[in-house]
Amino acid sequence: MTQRTLAEINAKIQAKQAVVWTVAELKARVQEWGVTRCTRMVDVITTGTFEPMEASGAVLNLGQTDPPIKLKQCWLDGVPAYTGFGAVDVILGASQPAEEEGSERGGGHVIADLIAGQSVTLKAVGHSTDCYPRARLDTRIRKDTINQFYLYNPRNLYQNFIVGVNGGDRILYTYLGPLLPQLGNAVYACTGALSPLLNDPDLRCVGIGTKVFLGGGVGYLAWEGTQHFPLQKRLPNRLPIGPAATVALIGDAQQMQPRWVRGCFFKHYGPSLYLGVGVPFPVLDEQVVAACAVRDEDIVVPVMDFAIPRRVRPSFGLVTYAQLKSGQITINGTQVRTAPLASISRSLEVAEILKSWIEQGTFTLTEPVAPLPRERTFLPQDGLE
């Protein structure tokens, strides 16, 4: 049985001798050659996705003014930013909307504009003190006129998600986009068998410190993601039947590329951020390859009715990603059109770019410093009436 260490794989990467396949290539070759032969042949498998990830944000240090200022309130292109960290540090959430009535911009657009090298307006009110006397600041900033500018995303890379439908009688505007009445469409966000964490169901290949492709640059897995729920019910193949594990990611936005960080807006819902993320898996043993051989027909996802405005919505049952990607599913005898929020072609491109970095010896793999929790429960918040 083939066994490798991460050090051995990195040595091959640095010598430009590593064999790297995208996960799509791996799946095709396993069908032809089997798991054992593929394990002997490949050193690294790359995965990728390009999809909306609204639980993302940016941390910026503006640099101090003269006279100095301690920020009390701050707006970037009319989008409120949080100022409760030090004097001139701000945090901008991707899903924070602009305050202007009718605006279809938000934090995701501002983050994308800064990454693209554009300037944005900055308006701030200071909390005047003896050491920070300045009361206002009005200027424009670019990524090369500020100090730190990095993404910190508390929840990315859902390990599976849901399909949204609308059994009601009016159009619903959701984080999946518009859902048409009377089961007029079905929208899904996950790329299925291409999705990074669905190829690592037990989180063997990723952990805190894992290096990834993030927004066209290099990032790292910083912590478990919010709403991390590895105890989700699973099939015998260990794949979850709904939203399960998540990760928090961090990376230098100064090095990111506008093609892989795009602001977006969901009508009557709000702004978000399309983000490209790629995760490499070291082929340490056959179990890694067997997990990455999963196919769309092996992964199921629940179909949820958004017409019922409750935390636990009625389900129309489970469908496979193969059915979703066919363009239609059947719900209660009705043929329903399907559409993905994620870009399949861009997801494949992320995996290809990451593959090229590793083949060129410019991207080595990292050993996690700690595993992700596997026993985390999910606690609802009911509050008081």
User: Count of CB atoms within 10 A of residue 255's CB?
Assistant: 16
Query: Could you tell me where the DSSP H helices lie in 169-320?
Result: 286-292
Catalytic one of 38, 74, 131, 205: 131
Cα separation of 167 and 122, whole Å? Answer: 44
Residue 10's region, left for phi above 0, alpha for psi from -120 to 50, else beta, is alpha
C-beta of residue 16 within 8 angstroms of C-beta of residue 357: no
Torsion of the alpha carbons at 208, 211, 214 and 218, rounded to the nearest 10: 130
Q: 84 CB contacts (<8 Å, ≥6 apart)?
A: none
Residue 254 CA, distance from chain mean position: 18
Gap between the Cα atoms of 94 and 153, Å rounded: 9
What is the C-alpha to C-alpha distance for residues 83 and 89, in angstroms, rounded to an integer? 6
Q: Is 74 a catalytic residue?
A: no
Name the residues annotated as catalytic: 131
